[in-house]
A and B are shown apart, each in its own frame.
Chain A
């Protein structure tokens, strides 16, 4: 049966050039709109989750946002260091220890062929971390909710975790591809990270890769993990830390005993414990109350500060991403609006050009509402066709963007997966086109039949 939809489709297909141009206009708008939606959704999701499953980040006093972003996403350089004693106090002191479920120290500042080097302990790779319920997470709106992955994603894929106190290294899932480092490879770290890397400042300490992590979809995939002892044993580090201790009157004036490595690959540190420093501590508290208490107590002291990364990120998402989201929303509306306007113009011109056909339909007995439905269907088809044509370019655009972002941040954008954004834009564009089609459709129903047919 020749239904109204079939008639509309035949007419749309017959006007190939006009339909093609209108659909192309819609496709451009839809592609940009879908890309923006995908970036917005995935950007928020990527910033809002991290394989680290910890409640608090402890670091040098200063900006909590900088500390969080540097620790979790390796943005910019490290914000400074805190004494190693802060960590030992948290993990062993009876006053603090009951509040702490896990504490993992981190030291950063070096890189390997562009990949950040993180000195830590094997505790970072312990399985079955629970997602934290950090205080303040409830304050986040649904759009800016911050969630944490369970730490299980930080699992070793090949090889093993480094032995404590050695000069062994574990590399992220992307590191072999990016640097050529494989199990058994040896490397020497370079001083600096990101834009501060100085390729001429290559440290003398050599590390051996003993394991490769499974992919986590985060910046950790392009990070290299070594032991803290191995990190401190680097000449420049121990000399620098010793000099820093001397300046702060915390070091004995004795000459620094250089570190060495024994026959088993275990580091014998020359740097006294009091002079050792780290960049940050990841901490998981035993309860929400314990987290609050730790936050309060640590921030009272003068050696370090604690931040709840969930709260920091939620605030960041609210203050930065929400306006960006609104701007993106406005842009999406503008793009789709202009594309829909082109459909309106095209539909109106089509009605004007084919007024005699529409008048003939009226003379055959077609009601005004039949004509209205016909024209609306044609406009909706243009919207549907154009927006569907925009889906593939949108994902390709995201792939290009992902290829640019990935090496810089470690964030992998899922460009190939169909998204709800596709459906939203396609349905929205189709509905909007169908709605604007009502204007020419209404006018088409009022074409004076006698004038057209006589």
Chain B
């Protein structure tokens, strides 16, 4: 049970149209329930790598193969609909900025993680998760009524509601103060451990990387240096 990235290449065109390599010949193995911190400076391609793992973007070359709990999917070759379905059912994602739906309450935002893939709603589980992240009293609050830290917690609960095998987190503490960042991270890692989910955290903060577990500096697996 793992995610295998082999020979991944990804380039983006610059303003003149010339392709600029961002990731080159990346090889990475993420084991079951493993906790990895992908570190590196801004612009190093960390978020791109996260999206490649999530299947929201395709590599120019190489393979991204998921094999979790008997379900497998090639995020580099499968049809988009298959990747969407797989991502919705087996992965949990927390992206920078959280991107909660402003029109929905905290609980509805969490339930959205099930709704979009057609799974049955489980309000009790959503409530339990929100209570676990300290928002049991704010179930019906809209995102605008929550602080940035609380919104991040809702996003974490949303990522976990589908009981994912792999949790992908992009810069979880970027918008928080040090204390809140620590609390949220510990909470997230604890919940992921309870669900036996592997965790990949993107961060440029060495302190965060140290708390997560195995620190994988991107430059150590990327064979090109971005401009």
Contacts and interface: CB of A to CB of B under 8 A. Distances in A.
Interface of A: 1-4, 7, 10-11, 13-15, 356-357, 359-370, 449-450, 452-454
Most buried by B among A2, A11, A450: A2
Contact of B121 (A2, A10, A361): A2
A11 B84 CA distance: 22
Contacts of B89: 365
Contacts of A10: 101, 103-104, 108
B80 A363 contact: no
B116 A450 contact: no
Nearest to B80: A368
B185 interface: no
Nearest to A3: B115
28 contacts: A2-B115, A2-B121, A3-B115, A7-B101, A7-B103, A7-B104, A10-B101, A13-B103, A356-B99, A359-B99, A360-B101, A361-B112, A362-B56, A363-B54, A363-B87, A365-B84, A365-B87, A366-B84, A367-B81, A368-B84, A369-B81, A450-B48, A450-B57, A452-B99, A453-B56, A453-B170, A454-B47, A454-B48
Given A363-B93, A364-B113, A14 B102 contact: yes
B66 interface: no
Interface string B91-124: 1010111011111100010011101110011000
B90 to A, nearest CB: 9
Given A1-B115, A453-B170, 9 more contacts: A2-B108, A7-B104, A10-B101, A360-B101, A365-B84, A365-B116, A366-B116, A450-B51, A453-B96
A357 B51 CA distance: 16
In the complex, the 4 A-B pairs of residues with the closest C-beta atoms, listed nearest first: A365-B88, A14-B103, A360-B99, A366-B116
Interface of A is mostly: helix
B158 interface: yes
A364 B56 contact: no
Given A10-B108, A357-B101, A366-B116, A449 B121 contact: no
B47 A450 contact: yes
Interface residues of B, number: 36
Contacts of B84: 362, 365-368
A110 B91 CA distance: 89
Nearest to B88: A365
Given A2-B108, A449-B56, A361 B116 contact: yes
B111 A2 contact: yes
Contacts of A14: 102-103
Contact of A367 (B85, B97, B108): B85
Contact of B88 (A4, A13, A366, A452): A366
Contacts of B113: 364-365
A362 B57 CA distance: 11
A356 B97 contact: yes
Nearest to A374: B116
Contacts of A363: 54, 56, 87, 93, 95, 99
Contacts of A361: 101, 112, 116
Given A2-B108, A362-B56, A365-B89, A454 B116 contact: no
Nearest to A454: B47
- Which one of B48, B103, B117 has the greatest number of beta carbons of chain A within 10 Å? B103
B115 A7 contact: yes
B112 A364 contact: yes
Interface in B28-51: 47-48, 51
A250 B93 CA distance: 106
Q: Which of A4, A365, A370 has the most CB of B within 10 A?
A: A365
A56 B103 CA distance: 68
Given A2-B112, A7-B115, A365-B117, A454 B99 contact: no
Given A2-B115, A450-B47, A450-B48, A360 B103 contact: no
A449 B57 contact: yes
Contacts of B91: 365
B103 A450 contact: no
B140 to A, nearest CB: 12
Nearest to B83: A365
Nearest to A14: B103
Contacts of A454: 47-48, 51, 95-96, 170
A453 B97 contact: yes
Contacts of A7: 101, 103-104, 108, 112, 115
A367 B56 CA distance: 11
A360 B115 contact: no
Nearest to B93: A363
Nearest to B158: A364
A1 B121 contact: yes
